[in-house]
Amino acid sequence: MTSLFRFFIVYAPLIYFVLALWALLAARRVWMAWRERSTAVFGLERRLAHQKLMQRTASLAIVLLLLLGQLLVDSFLAPALPAAERLPTPTANPLVTPTETLALFISSQTPSPVEPLAPEASGCIPGQIMITFPEPGMEIRGQVTLSGSADIPSFGFYKYEVSPLGAEQWTTISAGNTVVRDAELGRWDTRQLTPGDYLLRLVVTDNQGNAFPPCVIAVRVLAP
């Protein structure tokens, strides 16, 4: 059932287009049947025209119900689905703790040379898309609680990801589907990572599947 909902969410624009075109054609057919019934003179002719009008009205009602169903999926079911079910790319479930395989993939990356990290953040919007802890350039180790904000208009969900510095190989750590305002975003266990420099980013997506520019900071992971 979740796979079916995911299909309607991913292909929503195409589905809306097809249903809207169908609705226009059905409405035109209803209007023509109504005119035919209005101009009918004989009893049998009026009865046949009335039956045709009822059939075409039923067809129009069906397509309107389908449009309503698609709208309900987008408005209520899509935000309630786990974030991983709505991602079009085949990523691991971001709502669960990263597996050992994920840790080994990141650990296999060669750590960047130890250089001072720039204490800056890019793409962050205070109060909307922001990582407040850890701070840019901070040295961290062990279990880390991430704090910040994920609060945009028409909020859908957020996720936070990590990549070795300079590698641009993003791996999802975890995600959430509730608005966060200057509070805890989630946790990050760095103990299975190779010590070194990493980029941490927060990606926030609206309920139409549009991802805003991510908030990205650089951090240094130390040995446990």
Domain co-membership, 15 together with 33: yes
pLDDT of residue 18 exceeding 90, the answer is no
19-67 tens-digit pLDDT: 888 888 889 988 888 888 788 777 777 788 788 889 989 988 998 888 8
Domain co-membership, 74 together with 89: no
Q: Check: CB of residue 52 under 8 Å from CB of residue 31.
A: no
Residue from 191, 198, 171 nearest 114 by CA = 198
CATH of the domain at 122: 2.60.40.10
Domain co-membership, 184 together with 201: yes
List phi, psi (to 5°) of 66.
Answer: -65, -40
Residue from 144, 12, 155 nearest 72 by CA = 12
139-187 tens-digit pLDDT: 999 999 999 999 999 999 999 999 999 888 899 999 999 999 999 999 9
Domain extent at residue 10: 2-80
User: Quick one: pLDDT at residue 100?
Assistant: 46
Residue from 198, 27, 43 nearest 117 by CA = 198
Domain co-membership, 69 together with 94: no
Domain co-membership, 61 together with 134: no
Residue from 209, 216, 8 nearest 124 by CA = 216
The number of folded domains in the chain is 2
